[in-house]
Structure 1
Amino acid sequence: MVDLSNYQRLEKVGEDSHKLYLVFEFLDLDLKRYMESIPAGVGLGADMIKRFMMQLVKGTAYCHAHRILHRDLKPQNLLINKEGTLKLADFGLARAFGVPLRAYTHEVVTLWYRAPEILLGGKQYSTGVDIWSIGCIFAEMVNRKPLFAGDSEIDQIFRIFRILGTPNEDIWPDVTYLPDFKPTFPKWSKKDLQQSVPSLDPAGVDLLEQMLIYDPAGRISAKRALLHEYFQEDPSQVPDYRQQQAVPLGATIYT
C-alpha cells in the first residue's frame, strides 16, 4: 500500500455554477507558524528538525518518483497536524516533468527558497529546484531564520554567493551561459557552511552541503538523501513535537 501520510489529503471535489471546489483536510498549523510560535532563544531541537526533515524529504521523494516537481516548497506550504506529522501542501505551481527536460517559467518558488539556476534565468530545470528549497528550509529550522533572505532577485543571488562563493565553470559547468549570469558579478570565496549553521551536527552539515550544491546535476536527490548518515537515527522515535515550548495547539493561531 502506498504511504501518502506526508500529503494534505483531498477530501472531496465539488462543482457549482461552473466553478470547481477542492476540499482538503484541515491541519492545525504550518511550519512557519510553528517556528514563530516558539519563544525567542528556544530552538526546535535537533531531534524535531530531523523528524520534520525526514517527512519532508520522504514526501518530496515520492513526488519525484512520480515525475512531479512541487516548485514552491517553503515553510508556509508544509502543514503539521496534532500528531506532529508534516504534510506537503499547495501544489498550485506543481508540474509534471519528462525527458528531455522541459522549459518552465522563471517566476516559481518564493524568493528565499529559489534555486540559483532559476535566479540566473534558467528555463530548463528538474528535481534539483525542490532539493535546493529543502536545503533552505533545513537551515531555517536550525537557525530559526532564513539562510538567504534577499529582498530582490539580485540581492538573493548575492546573498547566496557570499556564503557559497561566486560560481564558475569549474564548479558549475555552463553557468556562464545562463541568461542572467554576468561576468562582472563580484567574486566571493566560499565560506565554511558550518559557520552559517553553527548548531547543526557534522552529518547535518554534510547533507545541507549536498542539497546546496550549485550544479543541479550534482545536487543530492531526495531518494539518496533518505539514505544519508543524518537520518540513521529513526526520527519517528523522537519526542512528540507538542512537548516543544510552543503555542498550545488549542490556541487560536490563524487570524
Structure 2
Amino acid sequence: MDLSKYLEKHSHGLESFQIKLLLFQLLRGLDFCHKKKILHRDLKPQNLLLSDDGVLKLADFGLARAKSVPSRTYSHEVVTLWYRPPDVLMGSTNYSTSLDMWGVGCIFAEICIGSAIFPGSKEVSDQLDKIFRIRGIPNEQKWSEVRELPNYNPNAYPAYCEISFLLVNSEFGKIGKTGQELLTMLLQLRPQDRVSAAGAMLHPYFSNLPRQIHLLPPTQSIFALRELQGLHRHR
C-alpha cells in the first residue's frame, strides 16, 4: 500500500525505529535520484509505496525532471501544497534538490505524528502561514534572496518566531534530540541551508544502524543486512 494509507491506521505516528528505517530508505532512494540529476518534485506519502516486508520505494515520477546544468527554469506549480517548500510557494522557479529535501522533512514529521505538519488550505498564503507559524518568518539578513521572490510579502504575516517541534506535538519526543535536529536541517526556509540526502544519511540520528548500510548496492534492500532482519515487521 502507499504510505498515506498506512498512516491512516496509525493516527499517532509510527514507532521510533520504524520511523528511522523508513526515513533512511527514503533518503537512500532520493540520493540515488539526485546523483543522477533527477528531481522527483512531488514527494508526499501517497507517492511512497510500502511493502509487507517494510521496504519503501519512491513512486509516481510523473512530475520528475532532469536537473540540467546550468539550472533551467521550472514551474513553481509543483509538489502538492502541503509538501511544497516556502521558496517555491513564494514563486521561486530556480530550484534544485532542496525542493525534494523539504518534502522529506514534511514526510519525516508526518510519520512521527500521524498527520501533516503543515496542513494548509488551498490558498498559498495560508500554507505559508502554517509554515511560518512553526519555522518563523524569513530572516532577510540570512536569506537576502527572499526579497527577490515574486510572492514575498514581509508584511503579510505576524512576526512569528521559530518554535520547538516538541511544542508543536509531543510525539516528536520519540525521535529524540538528534531526530529533531535532523528535522530542523530538512525544514530550513532558505533552500541552500537544507541538508542533502547524502548528508542526511550520515547524521548521528542514524548512528545505531549497521555501518554496512552505507555500502549496499542501490538495488539491494537494507533488510538484506542480518542485523535488520526481523525488524521490518510492522508493529
TM-score by length of 2: 0.86
Cα distance in structure 2, aligned partners of 1:55 and 1:228: 14
* Offset at residue 193 of structure 1 (A): 2.9
Deviates more, 1:47-56 or 1:184-193: 184-193
* Offset at residue 238 of structure 1 (A): 7.3
Trace 1:49-64 onto structure 2 (pairs within 5 A): 49-64=19-34
- Per-residue displacement from partner, 1:2-23 (whole Å, max 9, x unpaired)? xxxxxxxxxxxxxxxxxxxxxx
Task: State yes or no: 1:109 paired with 2:83.
Answer: no
Cα distance in structure 2, aligned partners of 1:238 and 1:72: 31
Cα distance in structure 1, aligned partners of 2:206 and 2:176: 12
Match of 2:61 in 1: 91
Match of 1:141 in 2: 111
Cα distance in structure 1, aligned partners of 2:201 and 2:173: 23
SS in 2 for 1:210: helix
In structure 2, give the amino acid aligned to 1:202. K
Relative distance call for 1:174 and 1:230 in structure 2 (3 A) is same
Cα distance in structure 1, aligned partners of 2:203 and 2:177: 12
Structure 1: segments with no counterpart, 5+ residues:
1-28, 245-255
Cα distance in structure 2, aligned partners of 1:189 and 1:238: 43
User: Which of 183, 194, 213 matches 1:208?
Assistant: 183
In structure 2, give the amino acid aligned to 1:195. L
CA RMSD of aligned residues (A): 1.5
User: Which of 164, 170, 173 matches 1:192?
Assistant: 164
More helix by share: 2
Cα distance in structure 1, aligned partners of 2:120 and 2:113: 16
TM-score by length of 1: 0.80
Trace 1:35-184 onto structure 2 (pairs within 5 A): 35-38=7-10, 40-41=11-12, 43-151=13-121, 152-184=123-155
Structure 2: segments with no counterpart, 5+ residues:
211-222
What is the identity percentage for the equivalent residue pairs of Structure 1 and Structure 2? 45
Runs of 4+ in 1 over 3 A off after TM superposition: 238-243
More strand by share: 1
Cα pair 2:74 2:94 within 8 Å, conserved? yes
* Offset at residue 191 of structure 1 (A): 1.1
* Offset at residue 199 of structure 1 (A): 3.3
